[in-house]
Structure 1
Amino acid sequence: MQHLYLRLCQTATFSFLLAAFLLFGPEQGQAAATHVLPLDSLTHRLAVEGRDTARVSTLNALAWTHLNLAHYDTAQALLRQALPLARTLHFGVGEARTLYYIGEAYSRQAKLPEAVASLLEAESAAKRTQTTSQLPSIYHTLAVVYNTQGNYDAALATAQKAMKLCAALHDEKRAFKAWSDMGFTYSQKGDFPRALQCYLESVKIQQKVGVTSALARTYASIGNLYDDQDNIPRALEYYQKGLALLKPEDPAERNTLGRFYVNMGVLNSKQNHNTEAERLFLEAKKIFESLHQPADVGASIAVLANLLTKTGQLQKALPYHQQALHLLEQGADQSLILSAQFNLADTYAKLGQTAQAEKLASQCLALAQKLGTYNCRYEAATLLAQLRKKRGDYKQALEYTEIANATQDSLFSKEKSEALGKLQGDFELSQERNRVSTLRKDQQIQAQQLRQQRFVVVGLAVGFLVVLLAGLALWRVNKLLGRKNREIDHQRATLAQLNATKDRLFSIIGHDLRGPLNSLHAFVSLLNIRQLPQEKLMQYSQRLNQTLDQTLALIDNLLSWAAVQMQASERINPESLLLEEAVNENFRLLRTAAEHKNLTISHLLEGDEWAWADPDMVRLVLRNLLSNAIKFTPQGGRITVAATEADAQWRLSVADTGVGLDGETLQQLLGPAASPQSTVGTAQEPGSGLGLVLCRDFVERNGGRLWAESAGPGHGTTFHFTLPRAGALSVVA
C-alpha cells in the first residue's frame, strides 16, 4: 500500500493534514518479481492457458502488474476471475495470494474496511494452507491499513506478529518492513524515541540486504519524524539521503519521486524558501500527470495553492484550489476532500466572494461533523460565523460561534487530558524503575553478605596468617557494603522526593485549577442566556478569554514544572537563537494583557544578539518574566527589555515600573531554597507561583544565572538572566 505523507502549507487560520501517506510500497515475496514482466507477455500467456492453477497464478501476476501501474479497476476485474477459480480448484496458495492482492487494491483505493476484511481472509487462507511465507506481506499491508484508520494498537500487534514470523523464517528482506511499520505507529502515537529506534533498525537491515528503493522511503519517514519535532533542516537532510537513492529514469520509482518532491516542497515552504517549494510542487504535478494519477495530481496542486495563499497570491491560488478539489472529488480520501473544501472556502472569503465561501464552508462543516474531525469542525464553524457576522446575520453567527466554542472546549479537554495522563504514566514508570533498582541493590547486598560469611569460615579454618588475610578481605567487603548502603539511602531519598513532587503537583492541580475552571463554568452559564445585552456579552467574552489564557498558562507551567522536577527534561537542545525574535514573539502573545492594563512594552535590542540556548526554554523564561512584570505593574506603567554583552554572554533584563520588592522578598523568590509561591497581581490576577522556579531552573540548565534587583516597594523591579553568546561555545547539538 503506497501513501504520501503530505503536510500542507498553513492557511490564515490553520493547516489541514491533507493526507497521511506512508512512504512504503509492498514487495510481495515470491510474486514481487511478477510486476517486471511486460503486460503483453502476461496477456498472451493468459490467452493460451486453460482453467488450472497456472491460470490463477497468471491472473494474479497480471493483476499485480496493473496494480503497480495504478490500474485499479483492471486489477480488481482480474482478481475477481482468479478468486472463484482458485476456490473451485482448491488451490489454497493461489486463493491466499488473490485475497491479499484484493486487500492491497482496496487499501490503495482508500477503501479501508474492505481492505481489512480481505486481508484477514487472506491471513486465514494462508494459515489454512500452511503457506506462512505469504503472511509477512499480508501483515505489512494490514498494519498500514490499521495505521491509516488510526487503530494503532492493532497496527502495533500486527507488525509485531510479522517481526516474529520473519525471525522464524530468517527473512530479513521483509523484516525491515515490520520495523518500519512499528516506527510509523509509534510516530503517530507521539513516541519519537521509539519511532526513531524502529526506523534506524529498519535502515540497518536494508543496508545489510541492499534494498535501496525501500531504504529511500525509510529515510523519508525519518525525515517526517524530524518534521514532527520541528527540526526542518534535519528532516530535509534525510529526504536528500533518500532522493540520492532514487532513479528518476526508472518508471517504477517515478511515483515515489513525485511524493518526495511534494514533501520536500512542504519542508521548504516551512523555511520560507517559497520559490524552491513552488518548483518542487510543479515537478511533482508533472510526474503524477504522466502517471495518470488524478488524486496525487490534486494533492500536489493543493499544496501549491496553499503556498500561493500563504504568500498572498490569492487570485493566482484560486484556480489551483478549484482544480485540486475537482480532482480529489474523483476518488480521494474524505479527509483530502475536507481539506480542499476548507482551503477553497477560505480563499473565496479572503477574495470577498461570500456566497461561494459560505456554500463550501457549510459542506466542510457537515463533512467534518460526519468524520469527527475537531480541528476542521472548529475552523469551518469559525469561518461561517465570520461570514454571517459580515452579512449582519448575528443570530446565525452566534450559533456558529457556539459550535466553534463547543468544539474548541472538546479539543482542549482531550489534549490536556492526554497530556496529564502521559505525565502520570511517566511518573508511575519512574517509580517502578526505582523500585526495581532498589530491589536489585538489596540482592547485591545479600550476595555480598554470603561471601562475607564464607570468608569468615575460611579464616577460622586456617592459621594466623589466613585469619589476617581474611580480616583484610572483611574490611574491604564492609567498605563496599557501606558504599552500597549509601547508594540505597540515596535511592530512597530520591523516591521520597518524587512522592513529594507528586503530592505538590496534584495539590496545585486540585487547588489552582479549581478556581479558574469554576469561573469558566460560571461565564459559560451566563453566555447561554440569550437575552444578554451586547455590551454585557462583550464584557463576559473578554473575561472568558482572559480566564482561558490564565488557565492555559497555568497548565503549561504545571506540565513544565512537573517534568523538570521528575528529571524528565534533563536534556536540552541548544541552538543559535536570535533574542530579538524571541522577545517579539512574546510581545505578540502578551500584548492583549498589557493593553488591558494600559501598559507600554518595548525593547532596546538591536537585532544582532545571537545566543546559544534551547529556544523553547528561553521563550518560556521570557514569557514568565514578562507575564510577572505585567501582573505586578499598575495601570499606565512601562515594561522594557534590554540586552548587554559581557564575558561571552548576553545579559537580558526585564524592567518594570511596578510595585517593587524588598530584600527579604527577593531572597525568598530566588534564594537557593526558593519554592513556588503564589501572589495576586495589581488587578487581582491569580498565579500558581511556578513561573520563577521554572525560569531559574531553565536558565541554569542553559549555563546562565537568574537574579533580580529592586530599589524597594513602589520603585519597580528588574529581573536579569544570562545566556551564552552564540559562537562562544564549541558545543554541537
Structure 2
Amino acid sequence: MYRIALFIIFLWSSILSASARESTVSDSINLYLDQAQGVMYNNVSAALLFLEKAEALAENSGEDLRAKVAHNFAVAYYIKGDYDASLEFYLKTLQLYRVTNNKIGIAKCLIGQGLIQQGIDRHREAISFFEQAIKAYKKAGASEDANPAFLNIAISQIEEGKLNAAEENLHKAIALSKKAGRRDVEHLSLNKLGQVAFLRGNLDKAVSYYYQVLENGEEPNNWEKSFAYAGLAEAYLKQDKIIAARENALKAVDYANGVESLWDLERNTLILAEVYAAGGEMAKAYKELKLNKKYKDSLYNQQKLREINLLQLESRESENERLQAENDLVEQKLFINSSITIALAIAVVFLVLLFVLFRKNARQKAQFTRALKSRNKTILEKNELISRRNKELDVSNSAKDRLFSILSHDLRSPLASIQQLLELIKAGGVSQEEQKALLDEMLIQVNGTSAMLQNLLHWANSQLDGNKVKPEEVVLPEKVKKIQTAYFLAAKNKDIDIVHEEPVDAPVVWADRGHLSVIIHNILSNAIKFTRKGRKIKIFYREAGERIFLHIFDGGEGISEEKIEEIKGFASRMLSQVGTDMELGTGIGLLLVKQFLELNNGQLEINTFPGKGSEFIVSFPKAAVKDN
C-alpha cells in the first residue's frame, strides 16, 4: 500500500508539473505576442523579432496558439508591404482556425486575404472577401468586430472613385470601432474621411479630419501619423501654404521610415518632392524623386511577383478542387464496384448449388472482366492525354510569364531615367548648358533603349514560337556596345566607368541574336547593380580553340562560393538580392541567361575576387564552327 501511495503521489506531481510547464510556455508566447502588437505599427522589424521568439515556443503547442502567432506574422508583413509572406501566413492561419472551427479567426483570415487582393488593385475580389468576413462575424455573434471590414471596403471604393459609398462605410466603421474599443480602426477611418474630403476639393474639412486623428485622446501609432501628416501636406500644398506643407511632409516621411512601410514611403516621398518643387527647392525635389523611384520600383517588382504568385495559388486551389471532385467520383465508383463484387460472391455461392447456372454466371463474369479492362485502358489513355495537355499549358504559361517579366525587367529602368530627365527639364531648374548636356544624355539613353526594345521584340516573337532558336552570325563587340548604351545613365548615376576593350579583329559568334541580347543585358545589368559607386566595370574578349569568350568584371565586393554554387545549380526563379544602391530585381535574370546559353551551345563561368569584384564569363561557338 505504501508503494502504491508513493506511485500515485509521483504520478500526480508529474501531471501538475507538465501542466505548469505548459502554462508557462503559453504565458511566454502571449507575452511575446503582446510585445509584438505593442510595436507593430511603429517598428515592424522589432515586432518580427518578438514573433520569431513566440513561433519557436509555439512549435509544439496547440492549433489556437500557433494560429495566433501566424496571424500576427501575416499582419506584420502586410504593414511592411511584403504581401507574399503575408498571404502565406494568412493561409496558414486559416488552415489552423478551420481545424478548431474558430469562426472569429476564420473571419479575420478572410479580411487578411481581402487586404492582399486590395494590395494588388483587385478591388472587386477584395470587397467580396470583406463582405464574407462581415457575414462570418454576424454568424459568430460579434457584429461589432466587423469594423475593419467596413473600413477596407471603403478603401477599395475610394480607389474605384465611389466616394459616397466609401463615406457611408467609413462612418459605419467608426461607429462599430467605438463599440469594439478599436481606436486604431477609428483613426484609420478618420484618415480616409480626410482623403475623401480632399478628393472632393473640400480642403478645410480634410484638414479637420486629419487633426482629429493627431489630436485624439489616445495617441495614434506611427502608421496612422504617417498618413495624417501626408494628408495635411497635400491639403496645405493645394492651399499654397508651402511652409506648413513642407513641415508636415517631412514628418510624414520620418514616420513612414520608422514603420518601414514601402507604400507610405513611396507616397510620402512623392508629396515631399512636390512640396520642394513648389517652393523652388529643385535639388531637394530631385533627391526625393530619386528616393520615390526606388520605392516605386520595389513596389512594382513585388506587385508583379505577388500577381504571379496569387494567380499560381488560385490555379493550385482550382486544381485541388478538381482533383477532390474526381477523387469523390472514384470513391463512388469503387463503392458501386464493391457492391457488385459482393452481389457476385453471393451469386457464386448460390450457383454452386445450381450447377446448371454456374457456367452461365462464369461467362457473365468473364464479360464483366473484359469490360472492366477496357474501361481501365480508356481511363489510362485519358489520363495520359490530360497529362500531355497540362505539360503544354505549363510550357505556354512559362513562356508568357518570361515575356512579361523580361519586358518589365529590361525596359523599366531606362524609361524611368528618361522620365526623370524630362521632369527636371520641365521644372526649369537647370541652366541652358545643363539642359543641353541632359538632352545629349537623353539621346544616348533613347538610342540604347530603342535598340534594347528591338531585341526584346525579337526575343518575344521567338517565345511565341515556342523557344525556337534562330542562330546567325553576330559581331559580339558591336552587340555589347549597343547594349552598353542602354545603361549609360544607370552607370553614370552610380559614377561607374564601363571600360570596353574592343579587339582589333572583332570576333563573330554563332548564336540567336535575341537570346544573345537577353544574356548580355542581364549580366551587364547585374554588374552595374552590384558595383560600388566610383568603381569600374571591365569588358574584354578572349579566343580559345573554337570558342569566343566574353569577360564582364564588375567592381563589387565579390560573390561567395556558396552563391556561385547556388547560381550554377538552380533551375527556377531564385530570390533576387539587393544591389549596392538598393536596386531590386525580379529574380529571373540569371535563369534566362542559363536557359538561353543552353539553347545556343553557350557556357557560363563565374570567378570571385573578394573585395575586388566578380567576373562572369560567357562563351559561344565561333561563327565558322557554328553548332555541331
Coarse TM-score class (shorter-chain normalised): 0.3 to 0.5
TM-score, length of structure 2 as denominator length: 0.46
TM-score, length of structure 1 as denominator length: 0.41
